[in-house]
Structure 1
Amino acid sequence: MAAKSLAGRIALVTGGTRGIGKGIAIELGAAGALVYVTGRTMKSSNGKGGSLEETAEAIRSRGGECVPVQVDHEKSEEVEALFERIAKEQDGRLDILVNNAYKGVEPLLAASGKAFWEVEPSLFDDINNVGLRNHYYCSVYAARLMVPRKQGLIVIISSPGGMRYLFNVAYGVGKAACDRMAADTATELKKYNVASLSLWPGAVLTDTIQASDNGAGFKKTLEKYGKPETAEFAGRIIAHLAQNPSIMQYTGKIVLTADYGETYGIVDTDGTPAVNIRSFSFLFRQVSALSWLSGWMPNFLKLPHWLWHQASNKF
């Protein structure tokens, strides 16, 4: 991908003060897009990081442009005002929306290892008011800017938890709904040349998980994945998607960062490819009796998507 391949594009990354959102915002800015980044904290006051100012500084250090906007994505009026601001400042233009905002990490970590009935039902709202409902609101407002121009890309950050049980019930329900949202919005947007897709990053050991006192269970789960992806890798994938002339072949689909990276030769920040959870090498590592076979399996041998899908609960 050529440097500044997204020059002139307007992007919005929600929840970009830390983790995957921050990594995505940095890479889109480095690729030349003007990046609006949202978060609840403008300036860090606790010394633990995670602020809009820090993300903006990281983007600018890579030669990018950033507009940090303080937004509480649980408040629909603030979300609407965000898109009104973008429309006013950019003459009604928005090229890329990355639905990444997610409030439920800490409640999710605190509930780790507990059955759904052992946790207050409000956990569902903690996880999905921002991690699902807000994505719908943002997609609506983004589409209103993209459809008249007949171009645009909407990405919803999801995970394999949308296909099989992962972490807990509320998490899986939310991710399955995210995947369905991407598919159904794509159905209605396709004729307007606007793409909508669900992106599954691999295991990413974010700062929040590493710093949390409740993160032990998550860390143990992530260790099974082998080498984690950096937060920036998903950003590299989205930057490429946004300038891919074949983008519409991905609309409505789930895109694995590792799959896409292999197809287009995109590597992580350390110069190595991401671990592909469809590869037989990875799958054999998950079964202790077969783990010895892992080293014998070339990475290009992967479980077909149609067969992998049979592992879900769908008929």
Structure 2
Amino acid sequence: MNSGVVLVTGASKGLGRGIARAFGSKGFTVYITGRSQAELTAAAAEVTELGGRGIAHVCDHENDSAVEQLFNEIRSNSGRLDILVNNAAAVHAQDLSKPGAYWQKPLHLVDMINVGLRSNYVAAYHATPLLIETGGSLMVHISFYGAVSYFHGPAYGAAKAGTDKMNFDMACDLAESDVASVALWPGLILSDELKNLPEEHLTEELKARLMHFESPEFTGQIIERLWRDPERLNYSGSAHVCAELAQRYGIADSDGKQPVSYREVWGAPENRFIKPKTFV
């Protein structure tokens, strides 16, 4: 199986780490970024153990110069980039889930617009020339249902809605290239942290809920299959629910279950942007 080079930002833990593992199992060279050297080293080792080549790169995605250097190193060391997965985000999970309105929560929740939306733009800015040179490439921006429904408040919603619109506009600019740009909406993720919760923290209700969560590797499988899809350019500019793409591709989660779409509960990424025929 011919495999390529992928960069997964924010892959030291959570969804990004699982996506990196999925690509490792397919034999990819996987660059992973984050701010913790220890976590990145462990994540890269997992990729390598699964048959890929994990490369850890400490990178603060608030630092534009550091991001530029990251892509310079990818170009120098690998000479190509097949897939960019924009996953890095400044998610202050405990504060996000607290009750209260936005002005009653810590102001740092707005950081997600910087690292999560702006950082996606900066990574895409530096990645795109290399993606175009490589050809047959894919850029994925991790989004969520919060783009169209209330979820964790306005900072979170603005970051996700902005991600979907940014993706659409990037696809317009990429229309004459062989690079697809897609926003993906995973479901609720059974991260390593959740899987490793002490038994005493797991109520029966929580156990029942976690059974329906998606593994982080599931999203990685979908991205890899989308990259191989000869019709992938038809998806460019749109946002898609991972569970729905999985059904289309015949992909089940690692435990054999078919994760569900939450479009009836939280909304759906319908085509709500317009490609103008002319510019005024």
Question: Shared fold (TM-score greater than 0.5)?
Answer: yes
Unaligned runs of 5+ in 2: 273-280
Structure 1 residue 119 and structure 2 residue 105: aligned?
yes
Q: CA deviation at 1:209?
A: 6.4
Residues 36, 58 of structure 2: 8 Å contact kept: yes
Residues 17, 52 of structure 1: 8 Å contact kept: yes
Q: CA deviation at 1:82?
A: 0.2
Structure 1 residue 253 and structure 2 residue 238: aligned?
yes
Counterpart in 1 of 2:62?
Answer: 74
Q: Letter of the 2:86 partner, please give it.
A: N
Measure the CA separation in 1 of the matches of 2:216 and 2:169: 27
Q: CA deviation at 1:121?
A: 3.4
Counterpart in 1 of 2:16?
Answer: 21
Q: CA deviation at 1:207?
A: 4.3
Aligned partner of residue 66 in structure 1, secondary structure: strand
Counterpart in 2 of 1:84?
Answer: 72
Aligned partner of residue 128 in structure 1, secondary structure: helix
After TM superposition, list the pairs within 5 Å mapping 1:271-286 onto structure 2: 271-278=256-263
Structure 1 residue 61 and structure 2 residue 49: aligned?
yes
Q: CA deviation at 1:223?
A: 7.6
Measure the CA separation in 1 of the matches of 2:231 and 2:216: 25
Q: Aligned residues, how many? A: 266
Counterpart in 2 of 1:289?
Answer: none
| Closer/same/farther in 2, CA of residues 251 and 225 from structure 1, 3 Å limit | farther
Q: Letter of the 1:161 partner, please give it.
A: G
Counterpart in 2 of 1:41?
Answer: 36
Residues 10, 16 of structure 2: 8 Å contact kept: yes
Counterpart in 2 of 1:95?
Answer: 82
TM-score normalised to the size of structure 1?
Answer: 0.77
Candidates 12, 27, 30, aligned match of 1:32: 27
Q: CA deviation at 1:210?
A: 7.6
List 4+ stretches of structure 1 deviating above 6 A: 209-212, 220-226
Aligned partner of residue 263 in structure 2, secondary structure: coil
Which has the greater radius of gyration? Answer: 1
Counterpart in 1 of 2:40?
Answer: 52
Residues 17, 39 of structure 1: 8 Å contact kept: yes
Measure the CA separation in 1 of the matches of 2:234 and 2:140: 14
Measure the CA separation in 2 of the matches of 1:305 and 1:133: 21
Residues 226, 275 of structure 1: 8 Å contact kept: no
Q: Letter of the 1:165 partner, please give it.
A: Y
Q: CA deviation at 1:145?
A: 0.9
Residue deviations 1:194-228 (CA, integer Å, cap 9, x gap): 1001000011143456889xxx9xxx999879701
Measure the CA separation in 1 of the matches of 2:82 and 2:88: 18
| Closer/same/farther in 2, CA of residues 304 and 131 from structure 1, 3 Å limit | closer
Residues 19, 220 of structure 2: 8 Å contact kept: yes
Counterpart in 2 of 1:262?
Answer: 247
Measure the CA separation in 1 of the matches of 2:101 and 2:207: 20
Measure the CA separation in 1 of the matches of 2:208 and 2:239: 23
Percent identical among aligned pairs is 35
Residue deviations 1:247-301 (CA, integer Å, cap 9, x gap): 011111111111011011100000121122236xxx5xx9xxxxxxxxxxxxxxx
Unaligned runs of 5+ in 1: 44-50, 287-302, 310-315
Measure the CA separation in 1 of the matches of 2:101 and 2:194: 20
Residues 28, 53 of structure 2: 8 Å contact kept: yes
Residues 171, 236 of structure 2: 8 Å contact kept: yes
Q: CA deviation at 1:112?
A: 2.1
Measure the CA separation in 1 of the matches of 2:260 and 2:230: 26
| Closer/same/farther in 2, CA of residues 149 and 236 from structure 1, 3 Å limit | closer
Counterpart in 1 of 2:126?
Answer: 141
| Closer/same/farther in 2, CA of residues 164 and 195 from structure 1, 3 Å limit | same
Q: CA deviation at 1:233?
A: 0.5
Q: Letter of the 2:28 partner, please give it.
A: A
Candidates 164, 176, 197, aligned match of 2:182: 197
Q: CA deviation at 1:122?
A: 3.6
TM-score normalised to the size of structure 2?
Answer: 0.86
| Closer/same/farther in 2, CA of residues 304 and 172 from structure 1, 3 Å limit | closer
| Closer/same/farther in 2, CA of residues 209 and 62 from structure 1, 3 Å limit | closer
Counterpart in 2 of 1:234?
Answer: 219
Measure the CA separation in 2 of the matches of 1:150 and 1:190: 13
